[in-house]
Amino acid sequence: MFERALVLTATALICMSANAEGKISIAQQFGIGYLILDVVQDQHLIERYGKQEGLDIQVQWDTVSGATSMNEALLAGAIDVVSAGVPPMLTMWDRTQGHQNVKAIASLGSMPNYLLTNNPNVKTLKDFTEHDRIAVPSAGVGFQSRTLQIATARAFGDSEYARLDQISISLAHPDATVALIAGHSEIDAHFSSPPFQYQELEHANVHKVLSSYDVLGGPASFNALYTTEKFHDENPKTYRAFYEALREAARIINADKNAAAATYIRVERSKLPLEEVQKIVNDPEIRFTVSPERSFVYASELHRLGVLKHAASKWTDYFFPEAWAEPGS
């Protein structure tokens, strides 16, 4: 009887653990590409939707620079949900199939990333030499690097897709911005993102080499949120509250972009003038939506180049089902 009680107790504990909900840790990086998360955090939307699910959700927010650090934290179980560019998300989907089975939750919007330089001799990718240095958040693996690899393959041939990795340096956007504007360091190029690219282009010595939209054929998702199958499956109410919070944040932003700009400054403690952030948020090239756009361009191109081992047949292959109701590509 005592042994049976122990077995029942152990079984109950296992069931409780498997269905333990009400906690979520989220990591984001720097920039306006994470405005949807800023609004979610500022207005406590996860907590609000959690109450509709009967949960008092505890939310932990972290800021991490670079896709590599994000992915390591996710696989180690240190963070439940991470955010990075579409290519790093696809890499995780590709490498964890049959194991953690990482997939995307939602897009964080579509916005162009500009490859900028203060070197007057560089007009195209073919003008870069071994003396140049390109700053990116995660050299070789991040959104900017993967976009650069696709563009490089088109310029030099598929076998040369990693050619510019040799002159790429990992550096957080804020630090790279300072270096490019100052013009006194080895870094003379930066594959940037909003708002940093707009700050850099205000200086006469900086010009644009290309836009990520040039590479992808139009507006395309910049960042995505992703998690493991375990977190998705074991926390359905928490996951649902989070997803609905993201959708609500996108609606809030699009209803009043000027107010959303103020939220960005407040949450990220940005020193940028409000008018400047409002101008960026209202840029017609930028779309705040949880629906993925042109993500499949990355999936197909990176598989063709051999970066991804698994081929996706459609975008829904690497997104969790909750996102399928939204239009996507």
**Domain ranges within the chain, ordered by starting residue:** 23-109+220-325, 114-216
Stretch 301-306: mean pLDDT: 97
Beta-carbon contacts of 2 under 8 Å, excluding residues fewer than 6 positions away, are: none
Specify the pLDDT at position 68. 79
pLDDT tens per residue across span 241-271: 999 999 999 999 999 999 999 999 999 999 9
Specify the pLDDT at position 142. 86
pLDDT over 70 at 18, yes or no? no
| 28-32, 269-273, 283-287, 325-329: range with lowest mean pLDDT | 28-32
**Top-ranked range on mean pLDDT: pick from 5-19, 55-69, 97-111:** 97-111
Torsions phi, psi for 204 (to 5 deg): -60, -25
Specify the pLDDT at position 64. 81
Residue 273: band (very low, low, confident or very high) from pLDDT cuts 50, 70, 90: very high
Identify whether the C-beta of residue 92 lies closer than 8 Å to the C-beta of residue 73.
no
Residue 67: band (very low, low, confident or very high) from pLDDT cuts 50, 70, 90: confident
Specify the pLDDT at position 293. 97
Residue 9: band (very low, low, confident or very high) from pLDDT cuts 50, 70, 90: very low
Specify the pLDDT at position 20. 65
| 4-8, 54-58, 250-254, 288-292: range with lowest mean pLDDT | 4-8
* Cα–Cα–Cα angle for 218, 176, 280, rounded to 5 degrees: 45
3-class DSSP assignment, residue 125:
helix
pLDDT tens per residue across span 162-196: 999 999 999 989 999 999 999 989 999 999 998 89
pLDDT over 90 at 2, yes or no? no
To the question of domain 114-216 being in CATH 3.40.190.10, the answer is yes
Asked whether the domain spanning 114-216 has the same topology as the one spanning 23-109+220-325, the reply is yes
Residue 69: band (very low, low, confident or very high) from pLDDT cuts 50, 70, 90: confident
pLDDT over 90 at 89, yes or no? yes
Q: What is the mean pLDDT of the chain?
A: 91
Specify the pLDDT at position 63. 84
Residue 16: band (very low, low, confident or very high) from pLDDT cuts 50, 70, 90: very low
pTM to 2 decimals?
Answer: 0.87
Token pair of 213 as six digits? 């939209």
Beta-carbon contacts of 215 under 8 Å, excluding residues fewer than 6 positions away, are: 147, 150, 151, 154
pLDDT tens per residue across span 216-225: 999 999 999 9
pLDDT over 80 at 310, yes or no? yes
To the question of domain 23-109+220-325 being in CATH 3.40.190.10, the answer is yes
Rounded Cα distance between 132 and 135, Å, is 10
